[in-house]
Amino acid sequence: MALPSPEEIKTLLETGVPGLRVTVLANGSPSAQHSLLIDREHGCAAAEFLRDHAELRLDFCSNVTGVDWPDTETTEKVKVKKVVTGADGVEQEQEVEETRKTKVPGYLEAVYHLFSMTQKHGPVVVRMRTANRTDDTHLPSLTPVWRSAEFQEREAFDLFGIVFDGHPDLRRILMWDGFVDYPMRKDYVPPADDILITGVKA
């Protein structure tokens, strides 16, 4: 059975999971591997739907990765009215152009590659995003839906700091327990050698 398009899967999800918000993210590379961004509040319900839907049967999660999207800054030029003093010393209202900068908070992302072993199709790429990358880095764990996600969610927790609520064994998998920070974040600064070796600052 042919795999439905991302747009068709979006429609199925929104029909099957009330309240779910889904966005199709286009991939402009030659692979054209578009993905589905789902809201974290309905993450588990969406995952169960994808696994159990008769046409989809996405019963295998082959890969879970983390992505760090740091804060960005947008710049826009706007026209505003200001009172300016002319060369003759007379004040008058003029329309001037100003540049305004706006900070856009970053976030962390978990990306799941899903296949159907029974229907022999895939992948379907599903994404979830945290609210930010500081004090709200929680996402629902999809390990209860796809057991193969267990170690890979632990890796994303360890290296990116994504906290997977409902994970059966969420603890570091590559770094030691006393390690601070997340090595795969784009603003990560490696500690001094003495900390790396002993885990304690000299």
Domains in the chain (CATH in brackets) are 6-71+106-198 (3.30.460.80)
Q: Look at residue 2 in the predicted model and tell me its pLDDT.
A: 86
Mind listing the pLDDT tens digit for each residue in 19-78?
Answer: 999 999 999 888 888 999 999 999 999 999 999 999 999 999 999 999 999 999 888 888
Residue 100 reports pLDDT greater than 80: yes
DSSP 68-122: EE--EEEEEEEEEEEEEE-TTS-EEEEEEEEEEEEEE--EEEEEEEEEETTTTEE
**What is the mean predicted confidence (pLDDT) over 139-154?**
98
Region of residue 50 (phi > 0: left; psi between -120 and 50: alpha; otherwise: beta) = alpha
